[in-house]
Structure 1
Amino acid sequence: MLDLFNLKGKVALVTGANTGIGQGIAVALAGAGADIAAVGRTPPTETEAIIAETGARFHFISADLGKGAPVSAVVEEAVMVLGRVDILVNNAGTIRRADALEFSEADWDLVLDVNLKTPFFLAQAAARQMLAQGEGGKIINIASMLSYQGGIRVASYTASKSGIAGLTKLLANEWAAKGINVNAIAPGYFATNNTEALRNDEQRNRDILGRIPAGRWGAPSDLGGAAVFLASRAADYIHGTLLPVDGGWLAR
């Protein structure tokens, strides 16, 4: 049974792996045997050091995922260095906060580009490579609690993560028969850079913790098991699913 979760021989392309959720997922995938191509603007030095201890291969691909540059080059570099791409984790994201009455077009466009446009075209490029390899693959998008709920003061973020939920289902519908599984993880409230403002707001922090049955903010490592599962053969018949990892938030 444990062999179902073995990722030995697989290559995972993970965006935004330098800190937080992306780091937690990249480390977990490497621990299960996958080699890692990490994509981002700055070298993920800490992530690379942790993964080195697992014995997995690691390669950093420098790319600004908010600039609209062709992402096919990202996949091409991963293949050139590591030989293939079997798993894509669309994790990189950004957030801007303002009342809807004051929200700027620039903040809208930036968040939608990073959180929705780039994940689609990166999934497209990865899927083309997976089909060329002839062995299928796994695509894991990172959704959010705001894929289910509206939130406040994060109009573009909510729109982007609602879009990720729909896009995950659309791509699953088109690619399931081709052997490519497309699913999403919906993290709850995690202690990351994106939630620093919430955690520093005493009232909001107290309100959020009061609703989480687990009684704590999530740690990036809490997402590792879900990522390994969806990237593995154990999830071969799972398509178009949003898997909440939320400490019970949605059950409350």
Structure 2
Amino acid sequence: MKVAIVTGGTRGIGKSITEELYNEGYQVIAVYNSNDAKALELTQQLPGLDVCKCDISDSKAVQRMVSKIYRTYGRIDCLVNNAGIIRDGYFLMMSEEKWMDVVNINLMGLVNMSKAVLKIMKAKHIHGKIINISSTSGVAGQVGQANYSATKGAIVAVTKTLAKEFAQDQININCVSPGFIETDMTSELRNKEEIKEHVIPLKRFGRPEEVGWLVAFLASDKANYITGKNIVIDGGMIND
């Protein structure tokens, strides 16, 4: 059985990715940071699912967790770097704290997880898959999200670089950039209907499972010749 780690894997888009990989037969380890209730609920929904509580901005904690996962299951075939936070604000009013909170989770969390997993994949000759979740904000920018957009743009660049560095090891590294997806985060938008009507050509928000389907494809053997790509899934909203 293949083993997959999904960060931020117990809610929102991450939950749908966890569910899709689980349904595809993976042993999934869903990593979360704070919401124990959501994690417990998901383990009850998906028998055999493993969950790990970890602050992915802490490189030592990440190393301990990934080492434990490898000792437990004997392999790591797939990593989905999905965890991310938003601390919005206009650029001139954005505090250093807001910048660093987003950088530490969105970017350095991905760096910490990728480094720990890639060391194992390379050393054990595992032809693995890494899928990084970026955003259309990282491709086209977004007012009030200079920090978030910066980290998501960096994720695209890191993806392309690591794909080249690890191609010789037959490790595929790709990126998925969702647009507006129906999650708790977008449910609070006051202008949802206006966005659907005037911004998105398909006239609707995406469903979390649609992102999950794309990630599962990239994790599969059907995507063995795809690496270093950023795939936008946004209903036709931006020209990428």
Distance 2:106 2:21 in 1: 22
Distance 2:59 2:4 in 1: 22
Matched, 1:230 2:222: no
What TM-score does the superposition give when structure 1 sets the normalisation length? 0.88
Distance 1:251 1:108 in 2: 27
Matched, 1:114 2:105: yes
Within the candidate set 125, 128, 145, 2:116 is matched to 125
SS of 2:94's partner is coil
Equivalent residue, structure 2, for 1:138: 129
Task: Say which is worse superposed, 43-52 or 239-248, in terms of deviation.
Answer: 43-52
Alpha carbons of structure 1 residues 106 and 153: separation in structure 2 relative to 1, 3 Å: same
Alpha carbons of structure 1 residues 125 and 67: separation in structure 2 relative to 1, 3 Å: closer
Matched, 1:19 2:46: no
Count of residue pairs brought into register by the alignment: 236
Matched, 1:33 2:25: yes
Equivalent residue, structure 2, for 1:171: 162
Matched, 1:95 2:86: yes
CA contact (8 A) 1:59 1:81 kept: no
Cα offsets for 1:36-83 (capped at 9, x unmatched): 11111234123223322xxxx321111022455442112112112222
Alpha carbons of structure 1 residues 217 and 40: separation in structure 2 relative to 1, 3 Å: same
Within the candidate set 185, 191, 212, 1:194 is matched to 185
Distance 2:66 2:103 in 1: 21
Distance 2:97 2:60 in 1: 18
Matched, 1:205 2:197: no
What TM-score does the superposition give when structure 2 sets the normalisation length? 0.93
Matched, 1:181 2:181: no
Q: CA deviation at 1:193?
A: 3.0
Matched, 1:215 2:203: yes
Q: CA deviation at 1:133?
A: 2.3
SS of 1:182's partner is strand
Within the candidate set 21, 39, 46, 1:51 is matched to 46
CA contact (8 A) 2:16 2:212 kept: yes
Q: CA deviation at 1:247?
A: 1.7
For residue 39 of structure 1, what is the amino acid of its counterpart? Answer: V
CA contact (8 A) 1:94 1:194 kept: no
CA contact (8 A) 2:7 2:14 kept: yes
Distance 1:122 1:35 in 2: 18
CA contact (8 A) 2:196 2:205 kept: yes
SS of 2:175's partner is strand
Runs (4+) off by over 6 Å: none
Equivalent residue, structure 2, for 1:5: none
CA contact (8 A) 1:61 1:77 kept: no
For residue 192 of structure 2, what is the amino acid of its counterpart? Answer: N
Task: Say which is worse superposed, 151-160 or 38-47, in terms of deviation.
Answer: 38-47
SS of 2:28's partner is strand
Cα offsets for 1:143-176 (capped at 9, x unmatched): 1001211101011100000000100001001001
Distance 2:174 2:51 in 1: 24
Task: Say which is worse superposed, 119-128 or 68-77, in terms of deviation.
Answer: 68-77
Structure 1: which 5+ residue stretches go unaligned?
1-8
SS of 1:94's partner is coil
Percent identity reads 35
